[in-house]
Structure 1
Amino acid sequence: MEQPLGYLKQRINDDWLIDHDSHLLNTITEEFFQQLTQFSKGGIPPKLLIAEQNPLRFLAAFLAAVAAKCPVFLCNPNWVQQEWQQVFERVQPDLIFGQPMKLPITHYPLPITHYPSPNHIMIPTGGSSGKVRFAVHTWETLMASVQGFHQYFGNNCVNSFCVLPLYHVSGLMQFLRSLTTGGQLIITSFKQVEAGENFKINPTEFFISLVPTQLQRCLQSPALTDWLSRFQTVLLGGAPAWDSLLEQARQYNIPLAPTYGMTETASQVVTLKPKDFLTGNNSCGQVLPHAKVTIRSSTDERLGSNQIGMISIQSKSLSLGYYPIRMSEKWGQVKNLSNLNSDDLGFFDDQGYLHIVGRSSRKIITGGENVFPAEVEAAIQSTQLVNDVCVTAIPDLHWGEAVTAVYVPRSETISTTLLQATLKDKLSKYKQPKHWVPVASIPRNTQGKVDYEQLQNLVMTYPVFE
């Protein structure tokens, strides 16, 4: 299998990065590669944390790290200090490429600790506790995802229009598809798209990936709606889309391709092709060639068509586990085909299309981002402004789900405005509640556990939601 520098070498005379200098990418990658080689001790490569704001430098650092066989951690430069603290305590990096915001400077100088298993690619994802954790991938698992996508869509060059973060698996995979299949790539921000910037591409030759919130915003603009309708394919993932959004996209003839996948699967393992979407199909589509998806009961029995159960995934693109890898966290290896039981509920119809019906956990997906109530509740409790709190979600046409905090204020002087201001630097913006519901007490049973059915009824009947 071709390695990163091999793909770059093949494209050295190809101007494939639109609005960026393709040749500069090669130069910076080589410079980073030499730096990483020099930092290796006794043949052991350093642990590298990438927090580059500049997309060209981010991609160069990523390619150089993989080529130098470094364990590399992809990071969000805009994490708040609490999140950086978690990362540093767990990772203890040897090197940092980039200047992340709110970095806890107490960690300098960095220790040279080294990671015992090189050549791993750590991609950030949420955990059951809401803390930052990293899914452990390899170049091979990422390439398996690229190959499955490439085959599913006809083995042509994959041109990508990327508005998603490169440290997310969704953005990273767009880059890898274009790099390795001979396609073109444009990297920009969604804000520039909304501003109506004129991009020098032919949309009919490009894939674009969006989360439902971004699609919703585009459909509010006639110009952007027309622009999206001219793309080859509009991949939609990150969170389940609501039926009214899908119907609106269909009315405007948007070539939508809803997907199902996660960081642990190196993006999508199920995708609906636009021709099926435009004829009225609202499923997630069919399984890509590199994966196998089954529906299983709570006793691990495989279920048949139209039977709802837990979604189980087998794929060569599955991550090896979470950093640091422990035997109990491995999915298990069977002839290079791993197995992962998700917490998603769904079923296959008689034609083999996957339908997602919900999740077995309390995880909230808002604007394509995972939010775990336990983390938000802990942050609100840490303000010492509430006596009790429970975080849930309400349906939202803009975000898919809106994070909602039900709380018991410590005194009558505690306002929502004060809570919001106090919480500002404790959580990333997407994790902060969009709605606040003050109550005299949170409904709990005799064991002290929250009565979520009663809580949800309370939230949905609160005046602001009427």
Structure 2
Amino acid sequence: MEHSSATDYFQKRLHEQWLLGIDGWTVRTQARLHQLSSLTQAGTHPRILLNLQDPLEFLAAFMAACITESPVFLGNPSWSRADWEQVIALSQPHIIWDAAGQTFTENPFTPHQKSWIMVPTGGSSGKIRFAIHTWSTLMASVQGCQQYFESPTINSCCTLPLHHVSGLMQFLRSFTTGGRLAILPFDDFLNGVSSNPALAAFLDSQSQEVQAFFLSLVPTQLQRLLQRPERLPWLARFQTVLLGGAPAWPELLNAARKHKVRLAPTYGMTETASQVATLKPDDFLAGHYSSGQVLPHAQVLAQDDDQRFLPRNQTGRIAIQSQSLCLGYYPERFANPETFVTDDLGYLCDEQPSACRQEQDAHISGKTPHLHVVGRDSRKIISGGENIFPEEVEAAIRATGLVKDVYVTGAPDSEWGEVAIALYVPITPSRSVLEIQAALQNTLSKLKYPKRWIAVEQIPRNAQGKVSQMQVAMEVRSHLSNGG
């Protein structure tokens, strides 16, 4: 599939005011291009590492790198010093752009990395990796979204970090389709206030402008919004509210449906440049539960342990073939670039589970099935021979209404082999584990009950709502070492 270049899109939008409340983007992009001119005119493509919090500066620097086909690494300004040392050692940048200005470093050039766009992933496990994307893989994702939602122009409201795939793709969808983009800190979005007049008008509870906008949220953000009833009529006006980044629990989805929020739960990841399956808002409001249908630029299949494709309604590892699939993890390319086999377990099915046709393979069916994600294979706990999926246990605990948040993990045990441990935030300090267990009696098999419970003030999550595995492991070790 042919895509216009970054230069072509920049020229098309050169004189347009498409960023709500932000002026000077064209000037800043041209200034960044000028900084690169001496190197790019000599035929070299320097590796650029971005450490920019300001949206204007980030977008200008990112586009300058794309226009000059320079390899660019998207850095997270919130990383620790140790994280940055790891990233610099891995990326070996020639140029670092940060709030202090521009830093040049002496590192060898690598010709085959021209046009690579490195998007960070995997930080929650402690090891930061970069998925290698290109302008073409990112544009394939944009076009798949356009076609699926039948929306030639995509206006986006972004409250997520631009260095993350969830924020980056909102920018690219709007920029390359002739749409507008509103970039807001989530607290401003939540409270409906901004010191910027254009954004303040957008956030006003009476504003009708949001009817033409896509919004992207993670579950923890949606949960906070649902606790603000005065904001819900305004939230329900958005054309589409994409929900991803982490699994959403049934009670959260039910609450959003009750308030007629036009939610579109998605399935995707950094490696696929965001969504490859999405449930359309009308289907969500009609009561459907799934990750939706597969977008036009992708194919999603379930595989068994021997990498054979499974028929519908049979659970296996989710495998993805997509034009938006990354090339590999920097600096290595994938050995098999055609198919990305995830750690997620799921199955493909018609809209209603009773309509599933097990005898018909999803990859040859004329009807696009819905994707249902069961959990992650790596999170599966085998306790006394029983398979326990933490996602199921978490959903049951949340449904009691006795916790604000919960995360279930596994730990070795001499008697059971492995046991489930629940980190939970009680709805009030007086709530006991016995009360929660009593409330689970009719919804969860006792074999799946967590054997240990750890009350915490909050579950360690990042800005996308994903849990920090390192911090969870430290909390569990501390609890067990103290005789818990």
TM-score bin, normalised by smaller chain: 0.7 to 0.9
Distance 1:129 1:41, change over 3 A: farther
- The residue type paired with residue 71 of structure 2 is P
Give the CA deviation at 1:127. 6.5
Query: What is the CA deviation profile of residues 420-459 of structure 1, one whole-angstrom value per residue up to 9, with x for unaligned ones?
Result: xxxxxxxx996644994545659xxxxxxxxxxxxxxx9x
* Conserved 8 A contact 1:295-1:308: yes
Cα contact 1:93–1:113 (8 A) shared by 2: no
| Superposed counterparts of 1:309-324, under 5 Å | 309-324=316-331
Aligned position for 1:183: 179
Q: Partners of 1:440 and 1:234 in 2: how far apart?
A: 41
How far the C-alpha of 1:211 sits from its partner, in A, is 0.2
Q: 1:360 aligns with which of 352, 373, 377?
A: 377
Partner of 1:4: 6
- Measure, in 2, the Cα distance between the counterparts of 1:317 and 1:432: 32
The residue aligned with 2:81 is 81
Matches within 5 A, 1:224-243: 224-243=231-250
Partners of 1:272 and 1:62 in 2: CA distance = 30
Q: Which amino acid aligns with 2:22?
A: H
Does residue 107 of structure 2 align to residue 112 of structure 1?
A: yes
Are the counterparts in 2 of residues 320 and 331 from structure 1 also a CA contact under 8 Å? no
Displacement, 1:33? 1.2
Residue type of the alignment partner of 1:115: T
Aligned to 1:230, the other structure's residue is in SS state coil
Q: Contact 1:52 / 1:100 at 8 angstroms: preserved in 2?
A: no
State the AA in 1 paired with 2:78: N
State whether structure 2 residue 313 is matched by structure 1 residue 306: yes
The answer as to whether partners of 1:78 and 1:100 remain within 8 angstroms in 2 is no
The corresponding residue for 2:196 is: none
Q: How far off its partner does 1:39 sit? A: 2.9
What's the counterpart of residue 422 of structure 1? none
Runs of at least 5 residues in structure 2 that lack an aligned partner in the other structure: 194-199, 352-368, 381-389, 395-406, 411-418, 428-449, 458-465
Q: Distance in 2 between matches of 1:235 and 1:181?
A: 18
User: 2:154 is matched with which residue?
Assistant: 158
Show CA shifts across 1:38-75 (max 9, x none): 13484121110011111011001111101111110001
Aligned to 2:350: 350
Residue 283 of structure 1: aligned partner: 290
Partners of 1:250 and 1:325 in 2: CA distance: 43
Deviation at 1:35, TM superposition (A): 1.3
Post-superposition shift, 1:112?
3.2
- Give the one of 19, 24, 36 matched to 1:17: 19
TM superposition shift of 1:396: 6.9
Give the 3-state SS of the residue equivalent to 1:17 in structure 2.
coil
Alignment of 1:98-137 (within 5 A): 98-99=98-99, 110-116=105-111, 117-126=113-122, 130-137=126-133
Paired position in structure 1 for 2:164: 168
CA distance in 2, matches of 1:434, 1:297: 30
Deviation (angstroms), 1:18: 0.4
Aligned residues: 386
- Structure 1 distance, partners of 2:155, 2:237, is 14
| Range that drifts further, 198-207 or 149-158 | 198-207
2:68 aligned residue: 68
Distance in 2 separating the partners of 1:305 and 1:161: 36
**TM-score, with structure 2 as normaliser:** 0.73
The two structures, once aligned, show a CA RMSD in angstroms of 3.3
- Secondary structure of the residue aligned to 2:234 is helix
CA distance in 2: counterparts of 1:358 and 1:149, whole angstroms: 25
Amino acid at match of 1:47: R
Paired residue for 2:47? 47
Retained in 2: the 8 A contact 1:259–1:268? Answer: yes
Q: Which amino acid aligns with 2:17?
A: D
Q: 1:440 to 1:220 in 2, by over 3 A?
A: closer
Amino acid at match of 1:90: L
